[in-house]
Amino acid sequence: MRSLRPRLALPLAALGALHGSCTRAAPPPADAQEINADSAALTDAQEINTDAVAFTDSPSDTGRGYEPEPFAPTEATRRYCAGRDADAIEARITELLRALSPTQKRGLMAGAALGRTEDIWLARGIPALGIAGFRMIDGPRGVAVLPPLRATAFPTAMLRGASWDPSLEERVGVAMAVETLSAGATVLLAPTINILRHPRWGRAQETYSEDTTHMGAMAVGFVRGVQSRGVLATLKHFAANSIENTRHRVDVRMDQRTLREVYLPHFRRAIHEANAASVMSAYNKLDGLYCDNNRQLLTEILRDEWGFQGFVVSDWVLGTHGAAPAITAGLDLEMPTPLEFSMIPADITRGALTERDLDRAIRRMLRSQFCFGLDARAVTRAPEQRETIAHLTLAREVARRSIVLLKNSTVGAAPVLPLEPSRLRTVVVLGRAANVANIGDRGSSAVPASSVVTALDGLRARAEGRFDVVHIASSALDAAALATIRAASAVVIVTGSLHTDEGEATLGAGDRASLSLAAEEIVLVRAASAENPRTIVVLESGAALETAPWDAGVAALLWAGYPGSQGGHAIADVLFGAVEPSGRLPFSMAEREADLPPFDNTSDRVTYEFLQGYRHLQARAIAPRFAFGFGLSFSSVNYEAISLTSSTASASEPDNVVEATVTVRNTGARPVRETAQLYVSVTGSSITRAPRDLRAFAQVEIAPGATTTARLRFALRDLAVYDETARRMVIERTTYELRAGPDSERTPLRATLTVR
């Protein structure tokens, strides 16, 4: 098949700059650069003119008496259209397929332009026929508008994952949906839910977790929030996308069990539990086929097995590989323009495609538009609905709920944290991230906030004249700087990664070169902690870093991810105890990178193994530096008892819910928000298993000295494994040990479930 790919005149970097999942948004205002100077200025509630997209029929299109394939509504289509007359919608679609010309159909299957139209990515519609099309915008951490527009920069998804609170993430989804609509868009290209296989992945910050159960719960919360406001959420990138530098060519190989149990369940969950509207195919190959050409992935699994009724959109510019191979595999929409789908007429002429192939794709896209009411919605712009006080307050709340306290040593008679203003004279602030707007990658997920509260800003605001905050900007400490550090009441070093270290390939830094801090920052931490025993390190990064070479000398250690535009206030809130630390790691922090599976971002073919993250470490009896699910608070908690509603279950009833009640006591003097976690181990299994798999978690708030219960639930089907002989998920009839505790390494409570 002839492809347009060789005829693209733009270099890869230029194409990447136009890529909707790869679009450069402006850095914070301090170093903002002008983008898209020709775009018109926006006014409040400016109505969008969708009639601007025109279609011209070929002479052969008219008077042809075409009859589309009959379509009978199903329970799956009715579920997808929940709250609307699904049967009437399907009948309407059939009539449109009969009336639309081949030229019009082709026009509906691709984006309108290589660049943004009215600051959003436009997929064609036909307003005269009630077909609205799609208006898309990026958004894993906020609405990725272009300057001079502004939007709320929330903490990155990985930090939000550290909240372990799907209900909080649902509120974030609602806020992002409101800002999406205010920018004139109806589709949010989020959430990113690719498993964190290795923390060197450049886009680790955009996803939630290294674990499928945790990932699925957070994704469900986000999608529910987004779609509660009528915005279509897009699950991306489907599937096995976790390398940046070779993302356009790498062939990811894995066995079916690894695919079905590790890399896909969270996608299925977001579809089944949250009715996710759309899915974006990934750039990479999976088992020899580009994901947009992978029929097993897009049709056999996504649609035939899972019953997905929405549409599949390509990743931008270089995400489509031919017209016929992609469309017959299950791709519906090429974005941002028909670079490959322009070959549809030639493919029909040579018999590689039929008009009914187009009809199937168009039916799915029209179903999404009609079921979500896009045809009846007046789209307007309302910039006053972005960066509202409510949204900025939520961004701060999410950051403070997500920051993870990893270490808090006693110096003198008490732990270093929380800091008490009355005991402070001078706080010295150091580190490469202390006074920069460090809110994450500047690729497609970038959000141009009006202002960013840095860690230094937050500490100065907290001081309120009660103590001095001294900033030492240089990492090279002279004698005077060392003396200042020595005399300080406390030292706060804010370090870690910047956008120059990790991010989306093509536009940003790509994959991280290593998990180590910059050499000069290690020297800085060691020098400061040698001078002052009250040295606190705050790490900002997309995911895990190595801390073992230097953390023994610091009194307190926190991971703050990329905390968003209100992150500096949130960091100060945690350091000074205005909020109890309740963040828990959504990934493992290994002692050294060599403890993790290999990360190969140079080869054209890689193999993914069944075990990664905490499951990999436990299988090899390698202790992590900080465990998956780990986090401290300023109080202490005891896990005292566990009980099950039933100690037996039937494998023939996979929808039945298993519930564990866990008794937890706060033995400290401060209130605590505890995340109880339930892991499953299998004894006597006939197949290789991970030592432990997270299967449920729940948060409880406990007053000082009080005892409460956490109820942890999962469906019996969540115990299923993929039987490669039977080619289906099966629940093994055996004995399962349920283990509850505060993280993947500490699970003191045990109960037994027998499945017959």
- Ordered by where they begin, the domains of the chain are 5-44+71-383 (3.20.20.300), 399-619 (3.40.50.1700), 637-755 (2.60.40.10)
Lowest mean pLDDT among 63-72, 144-153, 530-539: 63-72
Give the Cα separation of 704 and 666 in Å (integer).
6
Q: Are 275 and 79 in contact (CB under 8 A)?
A: yes
* Amino acid 48: pLDDT: 34
Considering only CA atoms, which of 353, 346, 283 is closest in space to residue 320?
Answer: 283
Q: Are 671 and 704 in contact (CB under 8 A)?
A: yes
Give the Cα separation of 442 and 699 in Å (integer).
33
**pLDDT at residue 138 tops 50:** yes
Question: 491: which strand partners?
Answer: 428, 535
Give the Cα separation of 440 and 546 in Å (integer).
19
Q: Are 342 and 69 in contact (CB under 8 A)?
A: no
Give the Cα separation of 258 and 197 in Å (integer).
12
Q: Are 579 and 463 in contact (CB under 8 A)?
A: no
Q: How confident is the model at residue 684 (pLDDT cuts 50, 70, 90)?
A: confident
Q: How confident is the model at residue 52 (pLDDT cuts 50, 70, 90)?
A: very low
Percent above pLDDT 70 for the chain: 92
**pTM (2 d.p.):** 0.93
**pLDDT at residue 23 tops 70:** no
Give the Cα separation of 575 and 211 in Å (integer).
28
Could you count the other beta carbons within 10 Å of the beta carbon of residue 696? 25
Q: How confident is the model at residue 62 (pLDDT cuts 50, 70, 90)?
A: low
Residues marked as catalytic: 315
Give the Cα separation of 458 and 475 in Å (integer).
21
- For residue 418, cis peptide bond before it (omega within 30 degrees of 0): yes
Average pLDDT over residues 195-221: 98
Give the Cα separation of 338 and 344 in Å (integer).
10
Average pLDDT over residues 544-569: 98
Read off the amino acid at residue 146.
L
- DSSP 8-state code for residue 5: G
Residues with Cβ within 8 Å of residue 491, at least 6 apart in sequence = 427, 428, 429, 430, 485, 528, 529, 531, 532, 534, 535, 536
**Could you tell me the two tokens for 80?**
């997808």
* Amino acid 361: pLDDT: 98
CA–CA–CA angle 259, 260, 266 (5° rounding): 100
Q: Are 277 and 310 in contact (CB under 8 A)?
A: yes
Find tokens 């509120």 and name the residue: 171
SS3 729: strand
Q: What is the pLDDT of residues 475-501, one digit of tens each?
A: 999 999 999 999 999 999 999 999 999
Average pLDDT over residues 79-107: 96
* Amino acid 64: pLDDT: 74
Give the Cα separation of 374 and 48 in Å (integer).
13
Give the Cα separation of 752 and 756 in Å (integer).
13
> Does residue 380 or residue 676 have the better pLDDT?
676
Considering only CA atoms, which of 139, 29, 155 is closest in space to residue 436?
Answer: 29
Return the sign of the alpha-carbon dihedral for residues 315, 316, 322, 326: positive
Q: How confident is the model at residue 618 (pLDDT cuts 50, 70, 90)?
A: very high
Residues with Cβ within 8 Å of residue 75, at least 6 apart in sequence = none
Percent above pLDDT 90 for the chain: 89
**pLDDT at residue 411 tops 90:** yes
Give the Cα separation of 166 and 547 in Å (integer).
29
* Amino acid 378: pLDDT: 87
**pLDDT at residue 560 tops 70:** yes
Average pLDDT over residues 541-553: 97
* Amino acid 44: pLDDT: 31
- For residue 336, cis peptide bond before it (omega within 30 degrees of 0): yes
Pure H helices in 517-581: 519-531, 567-575
Q: What is the pLDDT of residues 291-331, one digit of tens each?
A: 999 999 999 999 999 999 999 999 999 999 999 999 999 99
Give the Cα separation of 389 and 409 in Å (integer).
36
**Strand boundaries in 586-666, DSSP class E:** 605-607, 637-644, 648-649, 657-666
Q: Are 125 and 376 in contact (CB under 8 A)?
A: no
Q: Are 298 and 315 in contact (CB under 8 A)?
A: no
Burial 575-599 (b: 16+ CB within 10 A, else e): bbeebbbbbbbbbbbbbebebbeeb
Q: What is the mean pLDDT of the chain?
A: 92
**Could you tell me the two tokens for 237?**
């990138």
CA–CA–CA angle 228, 234, 237 (5° rounding): 150
* Amino acid 3: pLDDT: 43
Q: What is the pLDDT of residues 363-375, one digit of tens each?
A: 999 999 999 999 9
* Amino acid 547: pLDDT: 98
**Could you tell me the two tokens for 687?**
């197949």
Q: What is the pLDDT of residues 448-457, one digit of tens each?
A: 999 999 999 9
Contacts 24+ apart (CB under 8 A), 98-103: 98/66, 98/67, 98/68, 99/129, 100/126, 100/129, 100/362, 101/55, 101/57, 101/58, 101/61, 101/62, 102/58, 102/60, 102/61, 102/345, 102/348, 102/355, 102/358, 103/55, 103/56, 103/57, 103/58, 103/61
Average pLDDT over residues 201-211: 98
Q: Are 697 and 651 in contact (CB under 8 A)?
A: no
- For residue 544, cis peptide bond before it (omega within 30 degrees of 0): no
**pLDDT at residue 401 tops 80:** yes
In angstroms, the Cα distances linking 106 to 75, 333, 341, 492 are 29, 10, 8, 58
**pLDDT at residue 231 tops 80:** yes
User: What's the start-to-end Cα distance of the chain, in Å?
Assistant: 52
* Amino acid 351: pLDDT: 97
What's the 3-state SS for 87-120?
Answer: HHHHHHHHHHHHHCCHHHHHHHCEECCCCCECCE
Q: Are 358 and 93 in contact (CB under 8 A)?
A: no
Lowest mean pLDDT among 21-25, 337-341, 646-650: 21-25
**pLDDT at residue 30 tops 50:** no
In angstroms, the Cα distances linking 651 to 81, 657, 717, 725 are 31, 12, 8, 18
Q: Are 29 and 371 in contact (CB under 8 A)?
A: no
Q: Are 204 and 562 in contact (CB under 8 A)?
A: no
Helix (H) / strand (E) element for 728: namely strand 728-730
Residue 279 φ then ψ, to 5°: -135, 140
* Amino acid 61: pLDDT: 58
**pLDDT at residue 688 tops 70:** yes
Q: Are 211 and 197 in contact (CB under 8 A)?
A: no
How far is C-alpha 663 from the chain's CA centre? 32
Give the Cα separation of 281 and 241 in Å (integer).
9
Q: Are 82 and 417 in contact (CB under 8 A)?
A: no
